[in-house]
Structure 1
Amino acid sequence: MDTHIVYPGQIPQDTDLLLAQKLMALSVGSLGDALYGRTAAAWGFSPTLSSTALTVAIGAGVILASGPLLATALGGQGGGLPADATVTTKQYLLPSAQTLTFPGTGGTYTLYALCSDVDTDNTLLPFWSADNPTQTQAGPNNAGTQLATRRASQVVLTLAQSAPAAPASGSVIPLMTFAVPGGATSASGVTYSQIANTFWLTIPELQSAIAAIAPGRLLNKQPFTNTNGATGTSGIYTVPAGVNTIIVQGVAAGGAGGGSMDCLNTSNASAGSSGGAGSYFEARMPVTPGQQIPYFIPAGGVGATAANGADGGALTFGPIGDLGTLSAPGGLGGYKGGIASSSGAALVTNAPAVGLPTGPDIVFSQQGEQGSPGVAALGQAVAFAGGSSARGSGGVGRVTYGTSNQYPGGDGQGWGAGGGAHANVAGTQNAGGAGADGYLLIEEYS
């Protein structure tokens, strides 16, 4: 922004004051250009229809529109600033409500804003007398002439069925249309609509609109884990002050790996199938500070000796007001292994994958990865790794052969992963690895 310079002891001129205002107007206009471009942008002008007369009261409003920087000379009387036709964005004001009468009935009438600069507030100003500096004169040349003391960038409203002529060096901006029923005696039955792309949201209104469709500034992240062992953890999430949107990420618990059977000689082998991973979701939703939302963080499935692995628990978040509850199913446990002897082989199929999460405002979801089948034959056993989740990796699998070799499957790592299965040759029965617990992460936005 350009700034006019004056110095101590300098004799002030009228142009010192006027040029400072011109530079300010140019700076504000450039800011308007950067924000809205060279287009009309209106705020306010709220209509109130009369129930007793064929009139409408239009509230105060503001319009940004293109116009000349100085339509005419500013000041004068031997000084001042000349007209400047540089086009910039200008602010035109309707400072108070204006009541208009509909010009007819049975038709559609447009509310037009006539934007222009008008020199106003005429006042009789004192002037110095060059012949006698101790004496003041009533206006220029002591003629008693009043002069304008304010240049108003004003809005004048009118209702018409066609656009009126633009004022000198000004513009005409259509704001809204009114449909007046035939024979109407009051405006109670009148309907109206704003002209498209003319009215703009204020910054608070824009913030509210954005918050309704997208999160604002990230304020905090809150993780929630299972702290109660095999029972899982229940709790209540309370929306903190200043939080209007949350993104919820949740993964259900993983299933345990399947156990192996007793293998009492070197010709016997057994391997279970590994556990599946829990499903995962991401959901974005509006919330209200102080709102309370229940949640449940499940425990991972536990392996059992010579038995199927237990399923992982489902994760829930909700109910969320009237929106319902987010729910992610847990991973399925792996099947126990069969016994393969020297005369045959044993194949344990893997459990099927669980379904997708359900609930409101889900923007992304993923099934948990299935566990893998176990294979045993001719004194060898292969147990594969558990299924991986979106937030964890499956417990390790094993390959074993020889005499009395036992290799338990690994536990699921991170969150929601499945446990690895147990494998043995000529050994005793044992359990598969445990599935990993569920997990919840809440990102809080303004």
Structure 2
Amino acid sequence: MQRRIVYQGQVALDADFLWGQRNLKTALGQALNLLYGDFSSVSAAFGFVITQDASGLSLTIGEGVVCASGAADQVAFGGNGGGITADTSAGFVVYECPGATLTLTAGQTATVYAVCAETDTDATVLPFYNADSPSQTQAGPNNAGTDLPVTRLARAQLVLAATAPAIPAGGAVVPLYAVTGPAAATATTTATVLALTAFYPTVPQLERGRYLGTQKFVSAGTYTPHARARMARVRMCGPGGPGGYASANSDNSHNSAGGGGGAGGEIEFWYDVSSGNPIQITIGASAESINSSMSIQSGSTLFGGIVECKGGSSGSYGDSTPNTSVSLGVQAPGGQVVVSDNTNIIEIIYQKQGQGGTGGMCVLGTNVPTIGTPSSFGAGTYNSDNDKGSDASGYGAGGAGGGSNTNQSYAGGLGSPGVAIVEEYA
């Protein structure tokens, strides 16, 4: 960017002031070039809100600004023996528009154009210094009373036309809206108005939907929204249930196999965080596999008091079965999801009860302990026929059942814990 230098005691010339204005205009155009791209192929507009008439064929368009190609100065800037010469090299120019009311013809397909040009306006009779009589001023050059423009105005004029108007010298024509009116239209509220490509999103609009970060909770904590966050995508699940317990056998004539634990309930939802209120997060843990036929349920994962993902239940109890028989344990229920959204601050993407765990089998002396039940966040693992059940991996999966064909009893594996994953967006 160029700047003019003047000195104390110097007799400043008109060009010193005029060059400062042109250089500022050029620098602003270069900054807009960085923002929008090549001025020769891109124009941008802001404002120009359209109001359609419910009782007539008028379109009222509010004030706006157009950034489009234009000359540095199509004609000389200033004059009367001074000023600076014209410069027709092009760049981005900012054109102001006060708005307008346009009339649409029924059945017409037309475009609202912004016709952009610079004009010299505000003609005024100016006082000039009289070199022959310093105590007097002259009314205009040579005291002739001639008025001179004092403003070079970059202005856009709105036109509704079926074809594009001619491009003014040193200016531009920018299409803003496409408008189509029905053949029998009596009001522009029935017309179709489509904003064209000159309208770019603003910086706040561009930020809307921007990913801000992820908070993952594997233990209890507090979710505090980011200051710029407006929405959060939350995925969470309850813990898996433990695998079923395999009871001991008095001799080798019996065997037992525990079932797989049920998976935890799952949900995914959008959460409105615009209030900025913190949310308490509770992460559920797996229950322990116990030597009892009583079914037990793992804990719950909580998102405040709004969402509860319950844990899966324990796998079926593996009781001793004669080697000459076939037995199948009952299935273990998966965890349910409970939503208590009284203020409509969440939008559910999906929710589901956890997958149930399959009962363990004993088939003619062979143990078939059930693999842990998978979830969307984790998986169970296989167990041998005479060992403790394997713990589930990841989150929300059920533990594998234990298996025994000796006088040793074996517990089922632990289900994997719950989790809450919060992705924030502006």
TM-score, normalised to structure 1's length? Answer: 0.71
Equivalences for 1:350-389 in 2 at 5 Å? 362=349, 386-387=372-373
SS of aligned partner of 2:248: coil
Unaligned stretches of 5+ in structure 2?
340-346
Match of 2:31 in 1: 31
What is the letter of the counterpart of residue 155 of structure 2? Answer: Q
RMSD: 4.9
* Equivalent position to 1:71, from 55, 69, 74: 74
Structure 1 residue runs without a partner (length 5+): 228-235, 321-325, 401-406
Q: Which moved more, 1:255-264 or 1:369-378?
A: 369-378
Q: 1:304 to 1:182 in 2, by over 3 A?
A: closer
Secondary structure, in 3 states, of the residue corresponding to 2:177? strand
Contact map agreement 2:110 2:162 (CA 8 A) in 1: yes
User: Closer, same or farther in 2 for the Cα pair 1:121/1:237, shift >3 Å?
Assistant: same
Aligned residue in 1 for 2:396:
416
Q: Across the two proteins, how many residue pairs are aligned to each other?
A: 416
Indicate how the Cα distance of structure 1 residues 5 and 352 shifts in structure 2: closer, same or farther if over 3 A, else same.
Answer: farther
The one-letter code of the counterpart of 1:122 is: A
Separation in 1, partners of 2:2, 2:333: 68
For residues 135-176 of structure 1, give each alpha carbon's deviation from its aligned partner in whole angstroms, at most 9, with x where no partner exists.
443333333322221110001223334333232222222333
Residue in 2 aligned with 1:404?
A: none
Deviates more, 1:346-355 or 1:125-134: 346-355
Read off the aligned partner of 1:438 and give its amino acid letter. Answer: G
Deviation sequence 1:315-359 (CA, Å, 0-9, x none)? 687998xxxxx8868546433335477x67989789699699999
Residues 1:12 and 2:12 are matched in the alignment: yes
Counterpart contact for 2:315–2:332, Cα < 8 Å? no
**Cα separation, 1, equivalents of 2:110 and 2:239:** 64
Q: Distance in 2 between matches of 1:189 and 1:283?
A: 38
CA distance in 2: counterparts of 1:309 and 1:189, whole angstroms: 66
SS in 2 for 1:159: strand
Q: Does 1:148 align with 2:149?
A: yes
Report 1:186-265 matches (<5 A): 187=187, 191-204=191-204, 206-207=205-206, 211=208, 214-218=209-213, 221=215, 223=217, 243-265=229-251
Is structure 2 residue 315 aligned with structure 1 residue 334? yes
Deviations 1:376-403 (A, max 9, x none): 998x979687456565675895775xxx
Deviation at 1:248, TM superposition (A): 0.2
Partner of residue 44, structure 1: 47
Please tell me whether the aligned partners of residues 241 and 415 of structure 2 are also in contact (alpha carbons under 8 angstroms): yes
In 2, the alpha carbon distance for the partners of 1:268 and 1:421 equals 17
Take 1:383 and 1:183, find their aligned partners in 2: how far apart are those partners?
77
SS in 2 for 1:217: strand
Label 1:256 to 1:189 Cα distance change in 2 as closer, same or farther (>3 A): closer
Tell me if structure 2 keeps the 8 A contact 1:273–1:334.
Answer: yes
Q: Distance in 2 between matches of 1:435 and 1:424?
A: 20
CA shift, 1:69, in A, is 1.9
Cα distance per residue 1:102-143 (max 9 Å; x no partner): 5x5553444332110001112222333444555443333333
Which residue of structure 2 aligns with residue 165 of structure 1?
Answer: 166
What letter matches 1:263 in structure 2? N
Change (3 A) 1:31 1:353: farther
Structure 1 residues 244 and 344: CA distance shift in structure 2, 3 A: same
Written as runs of structure 1 = structure 2, the 5 A alignment for 1:277-356 is 277-278=263-264, 280=266, 282-284=268-270, 286=272, 288-289=274-275, 300-305=286-291, 307=293, 310=296, 331=312, 333-337=314-318, 339=320
Distance across 2 between alignment mates of 1:434 and 1:305: 14
Residue pair 1:179, 1:190 contacting (<8 A) in 2 also: no
| Structure 1 residues 442 and 110, CA gap change in structure 2 (3 angstroms) | closer
8 A Cα contact 2:331 2:356, kept in partner: no
Instruction: Work out whether residues 340 and 376 of structure 1, in 8 Å CA contact, stay in contact via their aligned partners in 2.
Output: no
2:142 alignment partner, SS class: helix
Identify the range of structure 1 (353-362 vs 28-37) with the bigger mean alpha-carbon deviation: 353-362
Contact 2:286 2:417 in 1 (8 A): yes
Is the alpha carbon distance of 1:414 and 1:309 closer, same or farther for their aligned partners in structure 2, counting shifts above 3 Å?
farther
Letter in 2 for 1:419: G
The aligned residue for residue 124 of structure 1 is 125
Q: Is residue 99 of structure 1 aligned with residue 101 of structure 2? A: yes
**Secondary structure in 1 aligned to 2:169?**
coil
- Partners of 1:48 and 1:431 lie apart in 2 by 73
CA contact 1:62–1:91 (8 Å) conserved in 2: yes
